[in-house]
A and B are shown apart, each in its own frame.
Chain A
Amino acid sequence: MCSACGFPAAPGHWTEAGAATPHDRLRDRFRRAQVLQSVLPAYGLTAHDGAQVPGIQLGTLSGSQTIVRDLEAVWAEAERLSGKAIDPLDPRFIGERTA
């Protein structure tokens, strides 16, 4: 939509559109790291966000760390670091076992 005919759009990356206040934003960052930390270890990766610096820290089991700016970059970088596609429809996430 153009600026006249649309409703206001949330600024920033679309995944960060849910927060209305600085408090929401801080809580979102911790929650985001918590959710990532429940998924990434299965791929030999860790996620951390101490809210001290912008971005999300990704780590490998060998100890190397990198900071990425948003979730879109998380998945691309996690795929690169682990060498595997991280697919939410993988049987490990939906409780289905392949034959």
Chain B
Amino acid sequence: MILPTDATEAAENRMRLTVLGGFLGSGKTTWLRHQLHHGLLADAFVIVNEAAETSVDDALLGQAAELAVIAGGCACCEARDELVTLLRSICDKRVSAGNGRPDRIVIETSGLADPGPIVGAIRADPMLAHHIVISEIAVAVDAVYGLEQLRQEPLSRRQMELADRLVVTKIDKADEAGLARLLATLKAINPGAALSGAVKGSDVALPDYSDAEPEVLGEIDEGAGGAPIRALKLDIGEEIDWTAFSVWLSALIHARGDDILRVKGVVRAPAGRLLLQSVRRIVQSPEILPGDAAGDDNSLVFIGRGFRADQLDKSLRHFAGLKERGQA
């Protein structure tokens, strides 16, 4: 029999931390929400990180035992200090409470975050390293857009290469050949990662495409990818009606779906508070959120490249038949 060493005992008492990453719109929140709903991450302290100032995902994760939001910057860079401070405060409270809770932390990163520096920051901090063990980096991969992201987006590729577990989401939306090639390519670039499938957050067995050939990925010239991806906020206010807004957004996504990688936010309409989410040219059927109007309603986050907030605002007002702001 091997007696546990002090180090092993300390490790067993540490909180387990899961970093949940994945590119914009890859299905992180949907997956996490499902896990929480089914009690698979019961008692976890959930930290949601948003690159944009406005957070939407926290409204969907109400079943978390405890929830904190870090918005307005990625936890791998601008918001790294904020993350470390938050994790330290969780550790302090746990020690004070003395009840061993929470025993698990889940960080849902922004879609623009690199999990590597997040893990590095936790390991480099003596207090956090003493209280937290990184149990897993899980990365959501969009079955429809994942291969294209691997080819074109260096950040997306880094996320997938770093994962301990790759959760391939939306596998019901992908064509068979594309999914087969994606899975083979994921196995080639990260052979050590566990690979699983999901539809709307539920685990679904992946088909056996063992004969499929992986794509040989070329180097991505990070300087040649065009403008950097940015997150910006568009306030649509009270005077723009849902119909004009939806005509405009449908046109914008049709024309610019390669550059507008993600749109999300809550828009008030006669039917209620509509949670709007798009990934490239795919717009999810809006969920009708319960509750009264909130301060962040009618404010949308656009993430992508090649557009400015003032351009979106002018264009939307033009479609809605309104004058530009500041004009009589």
How many residues of chain B are within 8 Å of chain A by beta carbon?
52
Question: Is B85 an interface residue, CB under 8 A from the partner?
Answer: no
Cα distance, A1 to B241, chains bound together (Å): 27
B210 contacts chain A at the CB level, 8 A cutoff = no
B290 interface residue, CB < 8 Å from A? yes
| Cβ-closest chain B residue relative to A11 | B285
Q: Would A32 and B247 count as touching, CB distance under 8 A?
A: yes
Tally A residues with Cβ within 8 Å of B. 42
CB distance from A17 to the nearest CB of B (A): 4
Q: Shortest CB–CB separation between residue A36 and chain B, in angstroms? A: 6
Q: Given the complex, which residues of A lie within 8 Å of B77, measured CB to CB?
A: none
Q: Which residues from chain A contact B38 at a C-beta distance below 8 Å? A: 4-5
Look across to chain B and name the residue whose beta carbon is closest to the beta carbon of A36. B247
B298-328 with Cβ < 8 A to chain A: 307, 311-312, 314-316, 318-321, 324
Residue from the set A8, A15, A19, A96 with the largest chain B CB neighbour count within 10 Å: A15
Decide if A9 touches B285 in the complex (CB within 8 Å). Answer: yes
Known: A75-B255, A94-B314. A7 touches B250 (CB 8 A): no
Segment 19-58 of B: residues with Cβ below 8 Å from A: 30, 33-34, 36-38
A75 in contact with B286 (CB, 8 Å): no
Give complex CA distance A71, B248 in Å. Answer: 10
Minimal beta-carbon separation of A63 from chain B (angstroms): 24
Interface centre among B36, B243, B311 (most CB of A within 10 A): B243
In contact, B34 and A2 (Cβ under 8 angstroms): yes
* A18-B274 contact in complex given A10-B288, A75-B250, A88-B255, C-beta closer than 8 Å: yes
Closest CB-CB distance, A21 to chain B, in whole Å?
A: 7
Partner of B33, one of A1, A11, A79, A87: A1
Query: Quick one: closest A residue to B290, CB to CB?
Result: A7
- Please determine whether A86 and B251 come into contact, CB atoms closer than 8 angstroms: yes
Q: How far is the CB of A82 from chain B (nearest CB, A)?
A: 13
Chain B residues in 8 Å Cβ range of A83: none
Please, how many angstroms separate the alpha-carbon atoms of A6 and B320 in the complex?
31
Minimum CB–CB distance from B61 to chain A (whole Å) comes to 10
Q: From known contacts A9-B286, A85-B255, A89-B311, infer whether A38 and B321 are also in contact, taking CB-CB under 8 Å.
A: yes
Nearest CB in chain A: distance from B291 CB, A: 10
- Residues of the B chain whose Cβ atoms lie less than 8 Å from the Cβ of A24: 270-271
Q: Is the CB of B321 within 8 A of A18?
A: no
What would be 18 A-B contacts, judged by CB atoms less than 8 Å apart?
Answer: A7-B289, A10-B271, A11-B285, A14-B246, A14-B285, A15-B250, A17-B242, A18-B269, A18-B271, A20-B272, A28-B243, A32-B247, A75-B250, A86-B254, A88-B251, A89-B252, A93-B314, A96-B311
Apart from A18-B267, A71-B246, list 8 A-B contacts with CB within 8 A: A1-B200, A2-B37, A2-B201, A8-B287, A14-B283, A75-B255, A76-B254, A95-B318
